[in-house]
Chains A and B, each alone.
Chain A
Amino acid sequence: MLGVSYDPVADNKAFRDKFGFPYDLLSDVEKSASVAYGAAEAGSAKTSRISVLIGPDGKIAASYATVKPADHPDEVLADLNRLG
Chain B
Amino acid sequence: MAVIEVGAQAPAFEMTNQDGKAVTLDDFTGRYVLMWWYPKADTPG
Chain A residues within 8 Å of B, Cβ to Cβ: 1-5, 7, 9, 11-16, 18, 24-29, 32-34, 36-41, 46-56, 58-65, 67, 72, 76, 80, 83
CB proximity of A37 to chain B, nearest CB, Å: 5
Task: Please determine whether B13 and A36 come into contact, CB atoms closer than 8 angstroms.
Answer: yes
CA distance A15 to B6 in the complex (A): 30
CA distance A25 to B17 in the complex (A): 5
Chain B residues within 8 Å of A, Cβ to Cβ: 1-11, 13, 15-20, 23, 25, 28-42
Residue from A2, A12, A36, A41 in contact with B36 in the complex, judged by beta carbons closer than 8 Å = A2
Task: Please determine whether B13 and A32 come into contact, CB atoms closer than 8 angstroms.
Answer: yes
CB proximity of A72 to chain B, nearest CB, Å: 8
Residues A11 and B8 in contact in the complex (CB < 8 Å), given A26-B16, A55-B32: no
Residue of A nearest to B44 (CB): A69
Task: Please determine whether B4 and A12 come into contact, CB atoms closer than 8 angstroms.
Answer: no
Task: Please determine whether A62 and B37 come into contact, CB atoms closer than 8 angstroms.
Answer: no
CA distance A79 to B13 in the complex (A): 24
Task: Please determine whether B29 and A37 come into contact, CB atoms closer than 8 angstroms.
Answer: no
Residue from B5, B11, B17, B28 in contact with A26 in the complex, judged by beta carbons closer than 8 Å = B17
